[in-house]
């Protein structure tokens, strides 16, 4: 009888120790060998998008994509408080991964569950997280191809130079067309979004791709292709605002942007030649 009690106590202590043990940080793949990284394509029920950055809570690894990548409405449905979306748990194919990822956070679904009413938040909060299968975590590197970084989360005002890596399949696999340099035309939505011009503009399939400022800080996520009032520009949601909303309104308060293992270089020519 005493031996049974001791066994139960020992088992309980083992489980408690495991629960209290610090999370094991992921070991990132070398840049040249990583097959999963910012800029790889994601496919949600066939809808193509570009991943923005890598995120982690210290153990679990996520890729970011735009919330509208799992949208069920038309391309003009951009208000996250009223637009439909596939549910949490939806399978997401990740280029370079051996197994599908899983949609675990979507700002649109979160806003609808919270009855969000702020018009700027509803219009511009466009971020989702796709959990990378544990079998593929060893294939991940958080560095942005060509440019390196990100160095953290930051901002950019009107007139500032920005950089991005779009990877739409419409480019036919020509990766030298993926690195982009541009300029912020205006900040709108009470800081929730930026209108950005890049050479060339983002195209369908680039949605969700990340933007960096001149120091390599991550500033936003490509959300919309603008027609009016500035044709050929792109709407880029503010990443800092999107992450703050996620931290305050979901179970992912511990999830943070993962800095790149490569230092940032603000050289479009270097990014193109290295692509």
pLDDT at residue 61 tops 60:
yes
Q: Where is pLDDT greater, at 163 or 14?
A: 163
3-class DSSP state of 10 = helix
Domain count across the chain = 1
Question: 39, 208 in Cβ contact below 8 A?
Answer: no
Is 50 contained in some domain? yes
Identify whether 179 is part of a domain. no
- Domain residues for the domain of 111 are 41-139
Instruction: Report the distance separating Cα 226 and Cα 148, nearest Å.
Output: 27
Cα 113 to chain centroid distance, Å, stands at 21
Report if residue 120 sits inside a domain: yes
Q: What is the pLDDT of residues 225-236, one digit of tens each?
A: 765 555 568 999
pLDDT of amino acid 84: 96
* Dihedral over alpha carbons 115, 121, 124, 130 (to 10 degrees): -60
Q: How far apart are CA 244 and CA 153, in angstroms?
A: 11
Query: What's the gap between Cα 208 and its chain centre?
Result: 7
- Tens of pLDDT along 79-123? 999 999 999 999 999 999 999 999 999 999 999 999 999 999 999
pTM above 0.85, yes or no: yes
Mean pLDDT of 64-84: 93
Residue 224 lies in a domain: no
Q: How far apart are CA 28 and CA 65, in angstroms?
A: 20
Indicate whether 130 belongs to any domain.
yes
Specify the range with the lowest mean pLDDT, choosing from 2-11, 254-263, 266-275: 2-11
Residue 58 placed within a domain:
yes
Pairing of strands 101-106, 91-94: antiparallel
- Among 7-21, 44-58, 100-114, 154-168, which is the least confidently predicted range? 7-21
Q: Where are the alpha helices (DSSP H) in the chain?
A: 2-20, 107-113, 119-124, 239-249, 268-274
Output the pLDDT for position 89: 98
Is residue 226 helix, strand or coil?
A: coil
Residue 20 within a domain: no
What strand order describes the sheet that includes 47-50?
A: 47-50, 41-44, 91-94, 101-106, 128-131, 61-65, 54-56, 256-257
Q: How far apart are CA 11 and CA 55, in angstroms?
A: 34
- Asked, for residue 244, whether it belongs to a domain, the answer is no
Nearest of 243, 266, 250 to residue 53 by alpha carbon: 243
- Contact yes or no for 31/262 (Cβ under 8 A): yes
Task: List, for residues 199-247, the tens digit of each pLDDT value.
Answer: 866 656 688 999 999 999 999 999 987 655 555 689 999 999 999 999 9
Residue with tokens 């709108």: 188
């Amino acid at each position: 009888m005493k031996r049974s009690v001791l066994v139960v106590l020992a088992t309980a202590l083992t489980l408690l120790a495991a629960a209290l043990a610090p999370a094991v940080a992921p070991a990132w793949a070398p840049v040249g060998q990583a097959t999963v990284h910012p800029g790889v394509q994601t496919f949600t029920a066939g809808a193509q998008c570009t991943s923005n950055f890598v995120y982690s809570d210290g153990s679990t690894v996520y890729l970011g994509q735009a919330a509208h990548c799992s949208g069920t409405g038309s391309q003009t449905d951009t208000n996250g408080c009223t637009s439909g979306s596939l549910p949490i748990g939806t399978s997401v194919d990740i280029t370079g991964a051996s197994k599908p990822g899983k949609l675990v956070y979507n700002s649109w679904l979160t806003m609808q569950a919270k009855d969000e009413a702020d018009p700027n938040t509803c219009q511009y909060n466009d971020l989702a997280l796709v959990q990378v299968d544990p079998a593929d975590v060893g294939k991940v590197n958080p560095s942005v191809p060509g440019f390196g970084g990100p160095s953290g989360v930051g901002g950019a005002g009107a007139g500032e130079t920005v950089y991005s890596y779009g990877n739409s399949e419409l480019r036919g696999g020509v990766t030298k067309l993926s690195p982009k340099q541009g300029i912020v035309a205006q900040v709108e939505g009470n800081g929730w979004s930026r209108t950005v011009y890049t050479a060339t503009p983002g195209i369908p399939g680039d949605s969700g791709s990340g933007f960096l400022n001149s120091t390599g800080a991550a500033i936003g996520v490509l959300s919309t292709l603008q027609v009016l009032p500035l044709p050929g520009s792109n709407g880029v949601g503010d990443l800092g605002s999107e992450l703050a909303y996620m931290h305050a309104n979901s179970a992912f308060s511990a999830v943070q942007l993962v800095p790149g293992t490569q230092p940032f270089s603000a050289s479009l020519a270097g990014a193109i030649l290295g692509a």
